[in-house]
Amino acid sequence: MVNTSGGNSCFIETTHNSCFDLLTEDEKQLVESHRLVVNFKKGEIIGKQGSFASHIIFLNEGLVKVYLEGKPKDLILKIVPSNHLIGLPSIYDGNNRFIYSVATYSDSSVSLIDISLFKQLLGMNSQFALKIINILNEDTALIYGRFFCLTMKQSHGRVADILLCLAKRVYKKDNFNLAISRSDMADLTGLSSESVIRILKEFKDNGLISVAGKDFTILDTARLEKISQLG
């Protein structure tokens, strides 16, 4: 199920909301009463790498990117859709820092859960802890896949990969109106925007996709998948 090498490396489909089902009524109540709902506009930063992580983030609605800040360019670790937990790796014995930055692609709503409450729950409820371990491990598999993709595949493979990912996981259909810019796609693939544009044109010329502005249609999934494997 979890595909490490070769495959697609976009984001996890399974949602994280179910983990709260493992809490007792009292524990749920505790979370509910300590939950803060905050809205963010497109492009805003929800969490900043290195800063004190006071809360675990649950994305109610929206689309965000999780990334490491770099001098010339950032490294996007993953895209996270709604109903996912963000910031779990900040749960760390030492100081609870954000190990990455989080910013919105579109208007988003998040619930903030106090990190010490969250740790308390983990220490109280081992079934909940086990579920969180599951979520962390699923995430790890995802990041490994992306790590592999960005270090071992070359440009065509990476673009094919991201196109398939967008179709299959984000929009769940073969034709979609892309919410992100070419420059975002460049960040996502670790390429320059010029390269992304050139490769998209190539794919278009070869009948793999049709592109008109932000309207994309995947025409030849099979061939794209082949290219994604190691092209």
Identity of residue 160 = A
Counting contacts by CB under 8 A, is residue 73 touching its own copies? yes
In angstroms, the first-to-last Cα distance of the chain is 22
# binding residues, DNA (CB under 7 A): 20
d(CA 56, CA 91): 9
Residue carrying structure tokens 């505790």? 30
Q: Which is nearer to DNA, 14 or 210 (CB)?
A: 210
Residue 132: CB atoms within 10 A of its CB come to: 21
CB within 8 Å of 224: residues ≥ 6 apart: 160, 163, 164, 203, 208, 209, 218
Least distance from C-beta 157 to DNA, angstroms? 8
Identity of residue 192 = S
Counting contacts by CB under 8 A, is residue 207 touching its own copies? no
Residue 45: CB atoms within 10 A of its CB come to: 13
Counting contacts by CB under 7 A, is residue 74 touching DNA? no
CB within 8 Å of 160: residues ≥ 6 apart: 203, 208, 224, 225, 227, 228, 231
Counting contacts by CB under 7 A, is residue 70 touching DNA? no
Counting contacts by CB under 7 A, is residue 198 touching DNA? yes
Q: Which is nearer to DNA, 129 or 197 (CB)?
A: 197
Q: Which is nearer to its own copies, 15 or 106 (CB)?
A: 15
Q: Taking contact as CB under 7 A, which single stretch among the options 33-41, 76-84, 111-119, 208-216 is the one that binds DNA?
A: 208-216
d(CA 159, CA 144): 18
- Ranges within 91-150 binding its own copies (CB under 8 A): 91-95, 97, 99-100, 119, 122-127, 129-130, 132-134, 136-141, 143-144, 146-148, 150
- Ranges within 150-179 binding DNA (CB under 7 A): 154-156
Least distance from C-beta 216 to DNA, angstroms? 11
CB 189 within 8 A of CB 162: yes
Residue choice 6, 150, 190, 219 for contact with DNA (CB under 7 A): 190
List residues near its own copies by CB under 8 A: 1-2, 4-5, 49, 68-73, 75, 77, 88-95, 97, 99-100, 119, 122-127, 129-130, 132-134, 136-141, 143-144, 146-148, 150-152, 190, 230
